[in-house]
């Protein structure tokens, strides 16, 4: 079965500091990986996704993630945090074992706080 | 504007009182689904629909029903709500099923409290 693990339910950084949110996956087949962001009182919004090809994926708002098969990781980074980045971030993998159901399997989320 | 809408956004109800949470999308998406979000558990899929009149259970379907009579609408029905269904609910939609790399679009969420 596929699964996603996000290390750290809460991460706090200072404004201007590097943001690193960790995601590890488990999959017996090449995974399709996603990062979603949830701002307060809003739905989830896609930040970026990895399907095939280039392993460094750039997303919106200056975020990027690198697919590392050897480490089964898909960590999210941003060089310089802004106050507006404060949100909850979810890593997800497409459920490739469940047929063509388009289901996403989510991690438990990481709440990012940005201190002034 | 392409969007997924949910109503109501907030709902407080009592045990056993039937309720429906509506979901509508204007992107002509075939695939729609419902998730619930609970602290420490992330989002878990309740039900999904691959097209009109085609629905199936997700990972946590107990206590819920859905219907898909029209392409744009996918209501979530709680026939007899219980306190353990207190949660934040999200509806999502995406393009034709089978495109597993496609982006899913989420509604703004419905916060349900069952007393």
- Chain A contact present for B106, CB below 8 A: yes
Chain centroid to CA A66: how far? 10
**Is A5's pLDDT higher than 70?**
yes
pLDDT for A53 equals 85
Q: Which among A32, A41, A106 has the least Cβ separation from residue B43?
A: A106
Check residues A52 and A84 and name the one with the higher pLDDT.
Answer: A84
- CA A95-A105-B74 angle, 5° bins: 90
Lowest mean pLDDT, pick from A9-13, B38-42, B78-82: B38-42
pLDDT tens string B87-104: 999 999 988 655 666 788
pLDDT for A99 equals 61
ω into B8 cis (within 30 of 0):
yes
Q: What integer is the mean pLDDT of B15-43?
A: 94
| Chain mean pLDDT for chain A | 91
Which residue on chain A is closest to B107 by alpha carbon? Answer: A43
- Chain A contact present for B10, CB below 8 A: no
β-sheet bridge partners, residue A29: none
pLDDT tens string B37-64: 998 888 999 999 988 999 999 999 999 9
State the nearest Cα–Cα gap between A13 and chain B, in angstroms: 21
pLDDT tens string A20-47: 999 999 987 778 899 999 998 888 999 9
Q: In chain A, what residues touch B41 (CB-CB under 8 Å)?
A: 108
pLDDT for B99 equals 60
Highest mean pLDDT among A23-32, A102-111, B18-27, B32-41: B18-27
Q: What integer is the mean pLDDT of A69-90?
A: 96
Q: What integer is the mean pLDDT of B61-68?
A: 96
Which residue on chain A is closest to B108 by alpha carbon? Answer: A43
pLDDT for B101 equals 63
Which residue on chain B is closest to A91 by alpha carbon? Answer: B42
Q: What integer is the mean pLDDT of B14-30?
A: 96
**Is A73's pLDDT higher than 90?**
yes
Check residues A54 and B73 and name the one with the higher pLDDT.
Answer: B73
Cβ contact (<8 Å) for A43 and B107? yes
Report the alpha-carbon distance of residue B53 to residue A101 in Å, rounded. 15
Chain centroid to CA B1: how far? 21
pLDDT for B62 equals 96
Q: Which of residues 28-47 of B touch A (CB under 8 A)?
A: 31, 33, 35, 40-45
pLDDT for B26 equals 95
């Amino acid at each position: 079965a596929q699964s996603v693990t996000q290390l750290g339910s809460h991460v706090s950084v200072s404004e201007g500091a590097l943001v690193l949110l960790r995601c590890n996956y488990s999959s017996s087949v090449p995974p399709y990986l996603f990062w979603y962001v949830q701002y307060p009182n809003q739905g989830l919004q896609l930040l970026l996704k990895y399907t095939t090809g280039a392993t460094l994926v750039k997303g919106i708002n200056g975020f990027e993630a690198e697919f590392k098969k050897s480490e089964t990781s898909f960590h999210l980074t941003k060089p310089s945090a802004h106050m507006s980045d404060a949100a909850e971030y979810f890593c997800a993998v497409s459920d490739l074992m469940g047929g063509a159901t388009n289901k996403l399997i989510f991690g438990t989320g990481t709440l990012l706080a940005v201190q002034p | 504007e392409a969007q997924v809408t949910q109503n109501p956004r907030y709902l407080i109800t009592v045990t056993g009182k039937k309720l429906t949470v509506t979901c509508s999308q204007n992107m002509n998406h075939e695939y729609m689904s419902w998730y619930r979000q609970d602290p420490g558990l992330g989002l878990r899929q309740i039900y999904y629909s691959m097209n009109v009149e085609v629905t199936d259970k997700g990972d946590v379907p107990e206590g819920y029903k859905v219907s898909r009579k029209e392409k744009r609408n996918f209501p979530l029905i709680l026939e007899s709500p219980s306190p353990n269904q207190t949660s934040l609910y999200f509806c999502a939609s995406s393009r034709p099923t089978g495109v597993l790399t496609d982006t899913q679009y989420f509604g703004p969420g419905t916060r349900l409290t069952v007393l």
